[in-house]
Structure 1
Amino acid sequence: MEGWSQTLGAAPLLAIAAGAVALILVLVIRFKLHAFLTLVLVSLLTAFATGIPSGSIVDVMLGGFGGTLASVALLVGLGAMLGKLIEHSGGATVLAETMIRIFGEKRAPLALGVASLLMGFPMFFDAGLVVMLPIVFAVAARLGGPVLLYAMPSAVAFSAMHVFVPPHPGPVTATELYGANLGIVLLIGLVCVIPTFYLTGVLWGRVTARKFPFTLETMGGIFGGDGEPVANPPKVGTVIAVLLLPMALIFLNTGLDFLRAAGAVDESAVWYGVLTTLGSSAVALLISVLVALLVLGSRRGENGSALEKIVDSSLGPICSVVLITGAGGMFGGVLRSSGIGDALSGVLGDLGLPLILAAYVIAVVMRVAQGSATVALVTAAGLMAPAVEAAGYSAGQIAAITVATAAGSVFASHVNDSGFWLVGRLLNMDVATTLRTWTVQQTLESVIGFVMAGALFLIL
């Protein structure tokens, strides 16, 4: 789109974005049009409405679609394979029974959430979720309770760690833009994550489980088993080791990123490039799947043909997840390319709000308008960085502003966010149910995180 510039003002762009979101909701909820078709159609209509040159519309749509799939498809596919191997071998059931025996049935949701918090430090939201879901489903099957009671704490744990805590890309980038101290941002992020996780994960999970008490038997699911006993299941230590392997590899990568941002390592070194490649989410999951094929398959007596069928059977159910997630990225890409981000940022930057509140509001509006938490966070931080630098705040206050901006970037995940479709489809929820559970949770996570960051800003 070289040479093209948006001529519409912020008001019409905002109206178009709001109308597009409303149309998606109507088509999916009222007319039951498939979400993939709906997102592609509305993306096309939005591109025309915002004046994107007709010769560039297809490229913009494909760019948003492909860009999202590049980061999601491999993770979901490899994660589904790993989950299927854990489930088929009986490993998920073994681990679930061990957790129940150690923590007790009443504390099983909290135990799953705490485990996800630990795994969520190095692992991205989508990668961690697809690795943890087999365990969540196994616990739900073992105890016979509502799926959301066990799934919500885990999903929220991964979300909160991904949004608030370095070394994840969003908070690290915002830290660099604001010139904040990475260690203080990490500390404040963790302080905000713990109560946010408990209130919006564990407690909200109980609320959603009462309102939507569907079980594995009624939902189906990607990782659901056939209920038959498994001969020669692996030891719990083996299952834990398989689960820790991708976490350890990804932690290697994110740990190196942390050191790079702190200036402790040279990113041009050959060894740095090799280790970061091995620790990237997709490569780490690939290595983990190969190891799982050996220790959960071959060593248990499964032959090559049987293992091929097992991993192949994991891919069919995720096709819908991948396509819908990509289409959500397509819609968000159209919104970003239309210039709505620049227009909204310019308007909100002149409101005269306190800097910490202005950063939060800009991130909220950007998140609601175009869906990507990372884009919302980086846009808000880039806009507010000069003002924050000129204000003469302490290191602790700048870190608090960084975390507050991150809180705004997670607000109200809905139909233009690929994560919305990922969570909804993995848990086999329709759009209305996902809005009433996950969208509300993300809103609560955002508000509580901002309140915590704001309180710390006043203290530091």
Structure 2
Amino acid sequence: MSLVLILIGVIAFIVVATSKFKLHPFLTLILAAFIAAFAYGLPSSTIAKTITSGFGGILGYIGLVIVLGTIIGTILEKSGAAITMANCVIKLLGKRFPTLTMSLIGYMVSIPVFCDSGFVILNSLKQSMANRMKVSSVSMSVALATGLYATHTFVPPTPGPIAAAGNLGLESNLGLVILVGIFVAAVAALAGMLWANHFTNIEPDGEGADELKAQNEDYETLKQSYGTLPSPFKAFAPIFVPILLICFGSIAGFPSAPLGKATLYDAFVFLGQPVNALLIGLFLSLLLLKSDKKIEEFSERISQGLVVAAPILLITEAQEEFGLVHKNVNKIYSSNIMIYMYHKNTIN
């Protein structure tokens, strides 16, 4: 029981430190690992070694996947590919279902692009659609935000779900994580869309309402800022080709061997490995580069992607260290129980 109370206390510390005191999650998790280690009664001489032994444990494989996914997302964000994706959804659904259209745009865009960046990029589109379809911008904002967050939190190769898969030991089953995440995210996005429908006739009020109403509503200006927008193939290929390859790689590995055990099997097993699939996606993203000096532009996008990926990698590693403390405690606790049972049986 005391172990559970300590865990609850440490989690409460993490929540308060990050939400109220705005402490960076990386430092918070490191401190939480030390607090948990002392609270659980681990030998003081082994605490630092236990915590540092976890650092780098997950970077060997899943870290590279996170970096590649982040770089691809950065290239898609800077090239205007998100706008192309949004235009495709609008052409598909038209103006009949405004909140569904906005939610689906967010759902698709946030797979390669971070949800906060996606919201900034699509804000002018959202305002323009709200005016054209005579729907409250509050309703459209809710639909866009919930659609963005749904896939951002559930569907790889967005870095967050990849990191979670690594912590759960599912880094070699990302295809399964993607398939499950797509359906779970769809349920979450649908719930967000239904919630957004409650605000279709409600205009912004309260703090920040005037700023919201005064936001740039010229969607054409937004599109022109990106220059020539990429074609749908160029916009979708860098992210959906790797997803399909990862999924087929997982299917090829099923015990029933649906793709056989010959050349086709070998090809999908190789191409379906997340690192290989995302490398192919990275090469496809080169089609989105616009400047005359493509190598320099590509290097700049890589640098930008690494800056974004670094905090995610550090936080993921801090989570691994925090979890390692609990694993060691569980081992000690289990060993003590076994020793107690042994002595009890010996006495009897």
Sort the TM-score into its range (normalised by shorter chain): 0.5 to 0.7
1:87-130 Cα distance to aligned partner (Å, 9 max, x none): 222222222233234323432233236658xxxxxxxxxxx844
Mapped pair 1:315 → 2:306: yes
The code of the aligned residue for 2:243 comes to M
What is the match of residue 18 of structure 2? 28
1:269-312 Cα distance to aligned partner (Å, 9 max, x none): 8975663242122321122112212x1127x6442112211321
Q: Which runs of 5+ in 1 are unaligned?
A: 1-10, 117-127, 163-167, 174-186, 219-225, 347-460
Q: Return the alpha-carbon distance in structure 1 between the equivalents of residues 208 and 252 of structure 2.
A: 42
- Offset of residue 46 of structure 1: 0.7
Q: 1:241 to 1:232 in 2, by over 3 A?
A: same
Of 274, 285, 291, the match for 1:292:
285
The code of the aligned residue for 1:241 comes to A
Of 94, 115, 122, the match for 1:139:
122
Q: Return the alpha-carbon distance in structure 1 between the equivalents of residues 44 and 264 of structure 2.
A: 46
CA contact (8 A) 2:72 2:282 kept: yes
What is the match of residue 344 of structure 2? none
1:375-394 Cα distance to aligned partner (Å, 9 max, x none): xxxxxxxxxxxxxxxxxxxx
Mapped pair 1:112 → 2:108: no
Give the greater-gyration-radius structure (CA).
2
Matches within 5 A, 1:333-352: 333-339=324-330
1:308-345 Cα distance to aligned partner (Å, 9 max, x none): 113212322332233223323322332233219987xx
Tell me: higher relative CO, structure 1 or 2? Use CA pairs within 8 A at least 6 residues apart: 2
- Offset of residue 65 of structure 1: 4.2
The alignment's TM-score, normalised by the length of structure 2, stands at 0.65
Of 248, 271, 276, the match for 1:278:
271
CA contact (8 A) 2:252 2:269 kept: yes
Q: Return the alpha-carbon distance in structure 2 between the equivalents of residues 291 and 248 of structure 1.
A: 14
Q: Return the alpha-carbon distance in structure 2 between the equivalents of residues 336 and 197 of structure 1.
A: 32
1:171-206 Cα distance to aligned partner (Å, 9 max, x none): 999xxxxxxxxxxxxx9x89x859843554434577
Matches within 5 A, 1:198-347: 200-203=191-194, 229-257=225-253, 259-260=254-255, 262=256, 264=258, 272=265, 275-293=268-286, 295-297=287-289, 301-339=292-330
Q: Does the residue aligned with 2:313 lie in a helix, a strand or coil?
A: helix
Mapped pair 1:46 → 2:42: no
The alignment's TM-score, normalised by the length of structure 1, stands at 0.51
CA contact (8 A) 1:97 1:142 kept: no
- Offset of residue 17 of structure 1: 0.5
Q: Return the alpha-carbon distance in structure 1 between the equivalents of residues 42 and 308 of structure 2.
A: 35
The code of the aligned residue for 1:152 comes to T
What is the match of residue 94 of structure 1? 84
The code of the aligned residue for 2:237 comes to A
- Offset of residue 169 of structure 1: 10
Q: Return the alpha-carbon distance in structure 2 between the equivalents of residues 69 and 230 of structure 1.
A: 35
What is the match of residue 150 of structure 2? 156
Of 188, 193, 199, the match for 1:197:
188
Of 58, 63, 74, the match for 2:64:
74
Please, what is the CA RMSD of the aligned residues?
A: 4.6
Q: Does the residue aligned with 2:289 lie in a helix, a strand or coil?
A: helix
Q: 1:303 to 1:26 in 2, by over 3 A?
A: closer
Q: Return the alpha-carbon distance in structure 1 between the equivalents of residues 240 and 229 of structure 2.
A: 18
Matches within 5 A, 1:157-176: 157=151
What is the match of residue 364 of structure 1? none
- Offset of residue 161 of structure 1: 7.2
CA contact (8 A) 1:14 1:340 kept: no
The code of the aligned residue for 2:297 comes to A
1:339-361 Cα distance to aligned partner (Å, 9 max, x none): 19987xx9xxxxxxxxxxxxxxx
1:206-230 Cα distance to aligned partner (Å, 9 max, x none): 789x99x999x99xxxxxxx96712
Q: Does the residue aligned with 1:97 lie in a helix, a strand or coil?
A: helix
Q: 1:142 to 1:329 in 2, by over 3 A?
A: farther
What is the match of residue 180 of structure 1? none
CA contact (8 A) 1:82 1:289 kept: yes
Q: 1:263 to 1:159 in 2, by over 3 A?
A: farther
The code of the aligned residue for 2:323 comes to G
